[in-house]
Amino acid sequence: MKVSQSFIPTLREVPADAVIVSHRLMFRAGLLRKLSNGLFAYLPLGLRAFRKVEQIIREEMDRIGCLEMKPTVVVPGELWKESGRWDGMGQALLRFKNRLDGDFVITPTAEEAFTAIVRDELSSYRQLPLSLYQINTKYRDEVRPRYGVMRGREFVMKDAYSFHANDKSLDETYQNMGRAYRQIFRRCGLSVIPVRADSGAMGGSGSEEFMVESDIGDNTLLLCKSCDYAANVEKAECKPDFSPRFSADIAKAAAASTPPIETIDTPQVKTIEELCSFLKTGAENFIKTLIYRAQNVEPDLNGMEAAAPIPDAAEVFFAVCIRGDLEINEIKLAAALKAAEVSLAGDADVTRLSGAPVGFAGPVGLKAIPIVADFSVTSINDGVTGALAKDLHYKHVAYGRDFEAWLTADLRTVKAGDRCPLCGGELYEKKGNELGHIFKLGSKYTQSMNVSYLDENGKSLIPTMGCYGIGVDRTLASVIEEHHDEDGIIWPITVAPYQVVIVPIKYEGAMKDAADRLAEELEGEGIEILLDDRDERPGVKFKDADLIGLPYRVVIGDKNLAGESPKAEIKGRREKESRLVELSGAAAELAGMIRTELNSQ
């Protein structure tokens, strides 16, 4: 392809709203243009790289027997009502009515569409397992789209859905997907951090995120300095610096030598900090109690230690206790309660439920609502806590003796400096962006959407499901985030829009002839080339070549063409120095190098 016949509008200046490297470089190198906030058009060069990422994903999906389909981008709202997500999804789901007043969504993910299709065709266990995917346009109505295609409104996602007769089969496909994902990111030249939802120490993982490190990442990751533990802060665990007690009897016994509970006057003292300085002690001696409101709590607590049945209401309040130096992780709390959402109760509710102004809530004597305690609380034998009355606290509070929780769980937010749950090493933090996610869905959709099949014995059963996504735009942008220097992009050979740029110093005379011949020879070898035939100064062409960042550059100049054996100058984009090669063998040599690199992927 000749540059003059393509459409590669490079820019010297940086667009004002482009704050991250990939956004800047995608605009500057002429890969992308903006149509509106969060809506971007891939120009020809950008689309070539985009399609290569797509194709890598497609090959790896096909390899594990996942079958490509193409449902629609516009999906009937009826399906979303069946699954329950029509109401559950919030405003990021773009709903609209068509001219006949029908409800539709522009699909952000496609559990409903795939489940509906499989529902209609599935009859026998012999059809399972079944894995299907699409690579298709998605839309999420982001309030603040930013960072270019890293967080756009419209994007392309590979989303796969698998259907299984049993957990073993789901587990197999889940493992295959995990391997395929590692392979995809490796082929794209990306260093991903696979982040499992649980530590892996507790058996089968139900979810794994594939993160890349990024200063502007949406996610906080906790990584171990000593082993390969990596977790999203939303779900990170840590080695407890206390011994969790699962039995109130053990706790009671441990409190045998604790003095009896005692009320203390704490006028005007409400926060943990104020209490610490008032009582001249550390925050680890306090039992912090916060009142939470939880939405749509599921009654089934799945083996958790719950002392009483959960109240059956759409909105329920809980008192949540944690050691004073720790923070509550609301995602863990919601998961422990199987709640759709949790949020701190307002002052009025706190006052009503604790019988005291804000700042004096505590678990001792609290009857109005169930108490949920982080494991850290269960080892407190002699603590301080609010006394459910203005300006009063209790001291010598012992878990198991003075109060018991309705539910105990791991609720703490893990932070840098905490200990690795696997090896005890020190954890540190990184920001990360999620490129992919694999997830065991279970029967959430197959149940709500009434999918069933007959097993060997003719019994009707509900299949179990997995879902597996990769953001194509994000993956492409992340390649640039990882592979660039101050001059521009440095494409990995697998994703490069073209593999070679040929730069004649001037596109005329012998240089034009040599450039044209080399281009033809390389194309004959199946190599993708860009030929800079523009009437520009060599400096401009070199700057653009570095900016666009194709893996190899061949410069053809008069001086090197002169003499008995004409030569050309080859330089890898990562290399500092170029080297001279005989022009006659240049195509074969380059093609050989490129094929070797591609085959090693």
Question: Using CB under 8 A as the criterion, which residues of the chain lie in contact with a second copy when the complex forms?
Answer: 5-7, 9, 33, 35-36, 39-44, 46-47, 50, 65, 67-76, 78-79, 91-92, 94, 96, 98-100, 102, 106, 113, 116-117, 120-121, 130, 132, 136-137, 139, 141, 143, 153-154
* Residue closer to a second copy, measured from CB, 5 or 302: 5
For the chain, the straight-line distance linking the first and the last C-alpha, in angstroms and rounded, comes to: 25
**Of 33 and 239, which CB lies nearer to a second copy in the complex structure?**
33
Q: Name the region of 549 (left: φ>0; alpha: ψ -120 to 50; beta: rest).
A: left
CB of 339 to a second copy, least distance (A): 24
State the minimum distance, in angstroms, from the CB of residue 278 to a second copy.
Answer: 47
Closest approach of Cβ 105 to a second copy, in Å? 11
Alpha-carbon separation of residue 40 from 43, 131, 153 (angstroms): 9, 31, 9
- To a second copy, the closest distance from the beta carbon of 39 in angstroms equals 5
User: For residues 36 and 40, what is the distance between their CA atoms, to the nearest angstrom?
Assistant: 7
DSSP for 180-229, please give it: HHHHHHHHTT---EEEESS-STTS--SEEEEEEE-TT-SEEEEEESSS--
And the tokens for 554?
């061949």
Minimal distance, residue 45 CB to a second copy, in Å: 9
- The residue assigned the tokens 């709640």 is 339
Pick between residue 37 and residue 191 the one whose CB is nearest to a second copy: 37
Please say which residue, 27 or 317, places its beta carbon nearer to a second copy. 27
136/560 with CB nearer a second copy: 136
Q: In the bound complex, what is the minimum distance in angstroms from residue 571's beta carbon to a second copy?
A: 27
The CA distance from 362 to 289, in Å, is: 5
User: Closer to a second copy at the Cβ: 66 or 310?
Assistant: 66
Nearer Cβ to a second copy, position 137 or 448?
Answer: 137
Measured between alpha carbons, how far is 401 from 252 in angstroms, rounded to an integer?
Answer: 5
What the block records as the tokens of 295 is 């939405």
* CA atoms of 345 and 318, how far apart (whole Å): 9
Name the pairing type of β-strands 315-323 and 262-265: unpaired
CB of 98 or CB of 226, closer to a second copy: 98
Which of residues 129 and 370 has its CB atom nearest to a second copy in the complex? 129
Tell me how far, at minimum, the Cβ of 36 lies from a second copy, in Å: 4
Give buried/exposed letters for 117-127 (b at 16+ CB in 10 A, else e): ebbeebeebee
Closest CA to 297 of 322, 328, 333, 350: 333
* CB closer to a second copy, 117 vs 392: 117
In whole angstroms, how far apart are CA 548 and each of 5, 45, 149, 399? 16, 9, 18, 64
By the 8 A CB rule, do 349 and 361 touch? no
Shortest gap between Cβ of 68 and a second copy (angstroms)?
Answer: 6
Q: How far is the CB of 160 from a second copy (least distance, A)?
A: 13
Question: In the bound complex, what is the minimum distance in angstroms from residue 126's beta carbon to a second copy?
Answer: 8
In three-state secondary structure terms, 507 is coil
What minimum distance in Å lies between the beta carbon of 263 and a second copy?
Answer: 51
- Residue closer to a second copy (CB basis): 141 or 516: 141
| Ramachandran assignment for 476, one of left (phi > 0), alpha (psi -120 to 50 degrees), beta (any other) | alpha
As to burial, measured by CB atoms within 10 angstroms (0-12 exposed, 13-18 middle, 19+ buried), residue 184 is: buried
